[in-house]
Amino acid sequence: MISIAYVTKYLFMGQYLPQGSILQHEKVKLFVTHCGANSALDSIHAVKPMITFPGFADQPLTSNILINLRVAKLLKKFEFNQMKVRIEEMLAEPNYSEMLERLKKVKDEQVKMGGYKTGVEVVEKIIEGQIEVNHSIVSEDVAGSLKDRMLGEDEGVKT
């Protein structure tokens, strides 16, 4: 059930909005996200480039991965002028079309790997002890440091 509390020409807000369905709408061009796993996956599935504003836990890592894939750009400060610059930059051609093409490739790879069904199977095997999680596999090269991302270069880790 959708509960809409506020509507304008460009914005609607509510207590519950079906994010995945909204991202599929043709009028949605970009997605501003905190980079929670569901949000990132919904955006990839909908083939919508992202403006990332990560908070904590896995969000900075997810943001950095998306930036390295060149399907997202970091927003250092959540303020109007920075948001305006990022939106204009990302919607400019050929940048926007190139981001869409990269997103389509990422989505296609996820589908080839089995998508959500395979993800569920892996999680169940971890819970059942059939797969052991290696917590040391995320290196500094992949993750980058939060300080560098937030205070320095905003294009992700250079490889």
Q: What is the reported pLDDT for 33? A: 93
Under 8 Å CB-to-CB from 64, ≥6 apart: which residues?
142, 143, 144, 149, 156, 157
Q: What is the reported pLDDT for 135? A: 65
Q: What is the reported pLDDT for 144? A: 45
Give CATH for domain 3-151.
Answer: 3.40.50.2000
Q: What is the reported pLDDT for 116? A: 77
Angle at 104 between CA 98 and CA 105, to 5 degrees: 95
Token representation of residue 55: 């908070």
With a cut of 70, list the residues of the chain below it in pLDDT: 1-6, 10, 12, 135-159
- Whether the pTM exceeds 0.75: the reply is no
Q: What is the reported pLDDT for 12? A: 67
Q: What is the reported pLDDT for 8? A: 77
Is the preceding omega at residue 18 within 30 degrees of 0, hence cis? no
Tens digits of per-residue pLDDT, 7-45?
Answer: 777 676 777 788 899 999 998 999 999 999 999 999 999
Token representation of residue 47: 């083939």
Q: What is the reported pLDDT for 119? A: 82
